Structure 1
Amino acid sequence: MQQSSVRSLVDVVIPVHSLSRPLGRAVDSARLGVQPLSAGEYVITVVAHHLSTEQVRGMLTQEQLDHVRIIEAPAEGTTAAAPRTAGLEHTDAKYICFLDSDDSYQPGAVGRWVKIAEKRHSDMVIPWLKHSNGRTDITPVIRPGRTSNLDPIADRLVYRASVFGLQRVETVRRLGAEFEFGTSTGEDQAFTLRLYVGAARIDYAPGEPTYVMHADAIDRVSKTPSPVRTQLEPAVRILSKPWFEGIALELRRAFVVKVIRINMFEAVTAHLGAGTWTSDEAHGTKEVLTTLLGAVPRARGDLSRADLRLIDLLLAGATEQGALQTALTERRRFASPAALLTANPVHVMGRDAPVRFMAAATAQMARDRLAKRRGGK
């Protein structure tokens, strides 16, 4: 990607790939989200993916069209990798934000992040992620009292894998952060992790206004049932990237633990719930799990005894759903010794081991509740 002279402060990039998406809502929220920035300080870019410019124009009112530019991305892949990459290649803004076409910003959210970035010289601003039902994500599970100059290891940034927030374009280009092509989901994992590893300054924006994730899209790719190995392919690809192999062992271990604990276990749970756990699924999961643990063998040390029981079943290629469901239930009994303690007592107080992680997550939820009452600062 070529560096362009900066002409605006922020570019809000909205990929759209389907006529069923509520694009008008996203555009309206972007116009409100950039407040109090003036018209010359922001750009709203709609990227047509598997759609023509004319089709996208037909999704918007004339007033909305007056406030956006529309570009076309190559009709490549089923994820937002192509349109997000196109948005990056075309921008001449200082910062960039990515908004999914079925999500929205609260008024002033982007303007707030820009203000933080300008004041603190941020390469990234990580916001709350709020759901339309009012629930907020607790990731990343940061250290108590920290909102600025976050550390990728100490503040467990790997638990926030999505790209939603603010990124400094010059930093993205300098680090060569890229979206992953050729996968059916998780295209932003490598992009965000590359920034976590190489960014000089990462800040947090707790509270509101913020990014709102809606659940009314009928075609979210990430909700399409797929094999566990397909869901984890983006993470497996990261393991072999040269920049990943050169980062601190502790961060590589944290990444693998997160992928197993969150992505793999949730994928297995979904298949059991859908009744789609087969011998092929068990075999594919065993292969992926073997690859993950082989890349960072010490990752087992941060997992609970209950986690390890489930892992051993998966490594054995278990197909008996009752045993797997029991193991999954046991690991979610978070007050039990099996779910809290590691197999080796030496690892019990590890940063990503259950005791410290759950304590930090509880503290994070308390801070989020306080921030929600007080409003974003």
Structure 2
Amino acid sequence: MTNAPVVDLIIAVHDPLRPIRRAVESVIAGMTPERLRVSIICHGIPAGEIQRQLEGIDYSCLRIIEFADGIASPSGPFNEGLRQATGDYVAVMGSDDWFEPGAVDALVSHVERRSSEVVLVRLRHQSGEVLRNPLVRRNRTRDLDVVSDRLFYRTAPLGLIRRELIERNGLRFNPAMLVGEDLEFGMWLWSHASPIDFLGDSPCYVIGADSADRVTMTPRPVSVAMYPLAHLIDQPWAMRLPSRVRRALAVKLLRIHVLGALRARGDEADWERPALAEFSGLVDRIIQFGPGCLRPFARADRSVLEAIRAAPDVQHVVGAMVARSRAPRWTTIVPRNPIFLFDRESTLVRYLLYRVAR
């Protein structure tokens, strides 16, 4: 092929047992080489092992590339795919995942009609649950705003991204991170790209759950799991963001990553004092990074965050989590100051938007 495709789609695979054929077939259905090229980056495995799985697939712009860096992270193969891409847009996907029929065509057709810098696709789990992230304003599909449309809640950059935007700003997945390698990449995109569109009525990108050893689901030590957050808020570009944007980012980090880690490690046996002290310091830094970020949190959640911030003691923090699990319903919804009950980031507003989005 002499001309570059509209989209270069990159699939990273590190295990020949992954359902790569399912992923590829979901991507190329109805596509032509002029519109889409698929690059399978074989991470530390021979290309022949993947070729055998794809026998019989007739697609002239399917290429299989061997890549090895000795690092147990998808950053390397994704970055290699970006390096070799020449299309107007790029996209990444995992080998466990697939697109519902019509999803890829909807994405490519959108950028053929409109020169968006980013186009987000809907997500759902293999179980069927559709993910409400980003939780956009009602009926909002174009020219999304990072704060008003809660873009930070979409961590992974799944969709189409204009390649020139990536190259001009030197964006890459962080190979130093075994987990959370896409956090900074995604947060930079949502706070800088424009316009960003969302195909809120299109078929979905499906997050597969077939593999027991899926990298993103593997439990990690606190220091490893939280390092991407600490690295992110230290970046000069992040510190230069407007205060409203830093506040929104801080809320997301605390709500999804910090409280999520606490729920996953509720038992005292899951904590070591040095890790807890490090965790406490990180919470304090995030709160300083996004002034006012605690205001929209419900009373129960705010009490947990303040407990770990003020007293990095295992029993104290576990006790706060136990109290959270037994808290009256209203304290899990209402902030300390009721004036923030209808804040864009409040629990009540999120519940209402979830209801409207159904």
Instruction: State the TM-score, normalized to the length of structure 2.
Output: 0.91
Q: Partner residue of 2:313? A: 318
Equivalent residues in 2 for 1:1-377, closer than 5 Å: 7-32=4-29, 35=30, 37-63=31-57, 68-272=62-266, 276-315=270-309, 316-320=311-315, 323-330=319-326, 336-364=329-357, 366=358
1:160 deviates by: 0.6
Secondary structure at 1:301 match in 2 = coil
1:307-329 superposed Cα distances (whole Å, 9 cap, x missing partner):
12111221212322751432342
Query: Which AA in structure 1 matches 2:314?
Result: T
Distance 1:206 1:295, change over 3 A: same
**For the residues of structure 2 that align with 1:50 and 1:129, how far apart are their CA atoms?**
28
Distance 1:100 1:156, change over 3 A: same
| 8 Å contact from structure 2 (residues 11, 94) kept in 1 | yes
| 8 Å contact from structure 2 (residues 123, 206) kept in 1 | yes
Q: Partner residue of 1:374? A: none
* Structure 1 residues not aligned, in runs of 5+: 367-377
Query: Which AA in structure 1 matches 2:74?
Result: A
1:66 deviates by: 5.8
Q: How many residues align?
A: 355
Secondary structure at 1:128 match in 2 = strand
Q: Partner residue of 1:371? A: none
1:267 deviates by: 1.4
1:6 deviates by: 6.2
1:278-335 superposed Cα distances (whole Å, 9 cap, x missing partner):
434422321221221232232122222111211122121232275143234257x6xx
Secondary structure at 1:12 match in 2 = strand
Between 155-164 and 242-251, the greater mean CA deviation after superposition: 242-251
| 8 Å contact from structure 1 (residues 103, 213) kept in 2 | yes
Between 316-325 and 144-153, the greater mean CA deviation after superposition: 316-325
1:253 deviates by: 1.0
Between 12-21 and 265-274, the greater mean CA deviation after superposition: 265-274
CA RMSD of aligned residues (A): 2.3
Matched residues, percent identical? 27
* Structure 2 residues not aligned, in runs of 5+: none
**For the residues of structure 2 that align with 1:147 and 1:73, how far apart are their CA atoms?**
37
Secondary structure at 2:332 match in 1 = helix
Query: Which AA in structure 2 matches 1:205?
Result: L
1:124 deviates by: 1.0
1:109-154 superposed Cα distances (whole Å, 9 cap, x missing partner):
1110111222232111111111111111011111112111111111
Distance 1:235 1:14, change over 3 A: same
1:334-373 superposed Cα distances (whole Å, 9 cap, x missing partner):
xx33222222344333211223233223222x2xxxxxxx
Secondary structure at 1:314 match in 2 = helix
**For the residues of structure 1 that align with 2:339 and 2:251, how far apart are their CA atoms?**
17
1:137-185 superposed Cα distances (whole Å, 9 cap, x missing partner):
0111111121111111110000011121111111222233221221121
Distance 1:98 1:214, change over 3 A: same
Distance 1:274 1:185, change over 3 A: farther
Distance 1:214 1:108, change over 3 A: same
1:62 deviates by: 4.8
Between 271-280 and 23-32, the greater mean CA deviation after superposition: 271-280
Instruction: State the TM-score, normalized to the length of structure 1.
Output: 0.87
**For the residues of structure 2 that align with 1:229 and 1:117, how far apart are their CA atoms?**
40
Distance 1:322 1:85, change over 3 A: closer
Distance 1:106 1:78, change over 3 A: same
Distance 1:64 1:187, change over 3 A: farther
